[in-house]
Copies of this chain bind each other. A is one copy, B any other.
Amino acid sequence: MKIALSQLNYTIGDFHKNTGKIVDSIVNAKSKGVDLVVFSELAIEGLPAFDLYYNSIFREGSREAIEVIRESCIGISCLVGGIYETEEHIYNAAYLIEDGSIKQVIKKKVLTANDWYDEGRYFNSGDGLQTIQFQDKKFIVAINEDLSQISNAKGVDFVIHLAATAFSYTSYATKFAQVSALCREAKLPVLAVNQVGAQGDILFDGRSLVLDESGNVIDELAAFEEETKFYQFNEGIHAEMPAELNPAVSETSIIHDALVMGIKDFFEKQGFRKAVLGLSGGLDSALVAALACQALGAENVLCILMPSVYSTAHSLKDALDLVDNTGCNHEIIPIKDAVTSFEQLLAPLFQDRVADLTEENIQARSRGVLLMAISNKFGHIVLNTSNKSEAAVGYGTLYGDLVGSLSVIGDVYKTQAFELAKYINREREIIPLHTIIKPPSAELRPDQKDSDSLPDYSMLDPILYQYIDLGKSPSDIIALGFEKSAVERIVHMVDKAEFKRFQVPPNLRVSNKAFGRARIMPVVFK
């Protein structure tokens, strides 16, 4: 018996494209003598479709797609994830199609309920695990969380696991540990197919796994890329072309690859080609520019340098060095005239009030207007360049540096951004060294430094990580040895910045706790 695992990149609601990919994979597998092709959880729709599951046009698209896939399965079988509807309920299901007939529909029992996705909002709980006799083998089909329900596995040869496990920089280790433990407990090999690709803010890394009954890796599919691989069953499972397993990959490198995929898919899946962003000479925008160049090609990235009277000469030089190093396009538009114009318009009202945050924000917002105008005129998509540390403490200007369709590093702390920059420079200098070593500054007033308003990032980020990512209480964080006054100040800043985070672009999610969907807050609270 020969099985193919097909790890594909679906677009939510693009039934034509998703079905095309699935059918192509089935046709190709048939030509290779495959008996059964396995696709990931809710492959037909692309996961997670959120409230589109309520949409009857969407569900109709899904029903039509399953028909096309069924008809393509002549002389071959497949297991493919898709929604299943009865008159009253909708299920997260897997279809077993054999030679043009739907033989069985397996309905997921344990619905996903994490901080950003609640399947109970859409789906009913089904019967879960099913044991299937297929040719001379017997296997259990488990959809995602249902894997945990396997106990009695007598006479079963292996488990097929259809999942769509969202990426974070710790998700692979967690997934591996869970699947591997299941293998050992049930004494069964597992073939686990994962989704790959970015679904807007939510990323999927692929890395589908084939483990033996001791939980050891037989094979692993590509990270952040589509791949279909083939397995033979004789005495045990054999990969036809086993992967050379990666040596331990660094957290930084997988975040890097995830962000590049995130940008690429955001553009490709919406039919966009070109990006525009504001390039300040600082670390964050340089990092986003470098990632965008890698994802879209430097020729599709337009960096706008918008110096103000407070911009330092070295900032302009650092920005231009980045442009040279990457080969992207650039324009220089000094913002002075726009800022002056606003200040003059407001002078009668402001009279002799001293300059404060207002004037800093006018600079940031003038840049926002320029970026959006360029986006409107040329159809380029604005990439936001704020980081997670700033988002956490509210260090950013709504409608200013917080504009954009996608926040590339909004789930990356500043200290992680430094690591990413060094990683990008691993072979040659792409992000100018001076950009990396100079003290971070918003350059909105003379000699401004981030450290005027914020604790050092080396202090700030670990406290933010404890408070936001791990959900620890201030007293727990202080007990870890962090300075009490710093913890209290930072927690207060995070709480007071909640309103800003209501209106920021979606973040590419790389951690276990990204701002946005995962953090649901009241609009008004004390």
Contact = CB atoms under 8 A, between A and B. Distances in A.
Contacts of A46: 525
A365 interface: yes
A379 to B, nearest CB: 10
A341 B334 CA distance: 11
Q: Interface size for chain A: under 10, 10 to 19, 20 to 34, or 35 or more residues?
A: 35 or more
A270 interface: yes
Contacts of A120: 113, 118, 120
A138 to B, nearest CB: 36
Contact of A342 (B338, B403, B524, B526): B338
Contacts of A502: 505-506
A337 B333 contact: no
Interface in A470-486: 471, 473-476
Contact of A56 (B201, B473, B522): B473
A397 B372 CA distance: 10
Interface in A397-417: 398-399, 403, 405-406
B520 A50 contact: yes
A113 B121 CA distance: 8
A159 to B, nearest CB: 29
Interface string A163-197: 00000000000000000000000000000000000
B266 A524 contact: yes
Interface centre among A201, A368, A372 (most CB of B within 10 A): A372
A405 B499 contact: yes
Contacts of A357: 376
Contact of A13 (B121, B368, B372, B526): B526
A368 B403 CA distance: 13
A125 interface: no
A309 interface: no
Contact of A270 (B270, B340, B524): B524
B51 A521 contact: yes
Contact of A201 (B13, B362, B376, B523): B523
Contacts of A521: 50-52
Each complex incorporates copies of this chain amounting to 2
Nearest to A499: B405
A331 interface: yes
Interface string A187-225: 000000000001111000000000000000000000000
A154 B159 CA distance: 54
Contacts of A341: 337-338, 340-341
10 contacts: A48-B522, A51-B519, A52-B522, A121-B520, A269-B526, A334-B345, A337-B344, A365-B372, A366-B369, A369-B369
Interface of A: 11-14, 17, 46, 48-52, 54-57, 113, 118, 120-121, 198-201, 265-266, 269-270, 331, 333-335, 337-338, 340-342, 344-346, 349-350, 353, 356-358, 361-362, 365-366, 368-370, 372-374, 376-377, 398-399, 403, 405-406, 471, 473-476, 499, 502-506, 517, 519-526
Ranked nearest first, the 4 interchain pairs of A and B with the lowest CB-CB distance are: A200-B523, A56-B473, A14-B526, A358-B376
Given A57-B474, A337-B345, 19 more contacts: A12-B525, A13-B525, A49-B522, A50-B522, A52-B522, A56-B473, A113-B120, A118-B121, A121-B520, A198-B524, A335-B345, A346-B370, A346-B377, A357-B376, A361-B372, A362-B373, A372-B398, A406-B523, A502-B506
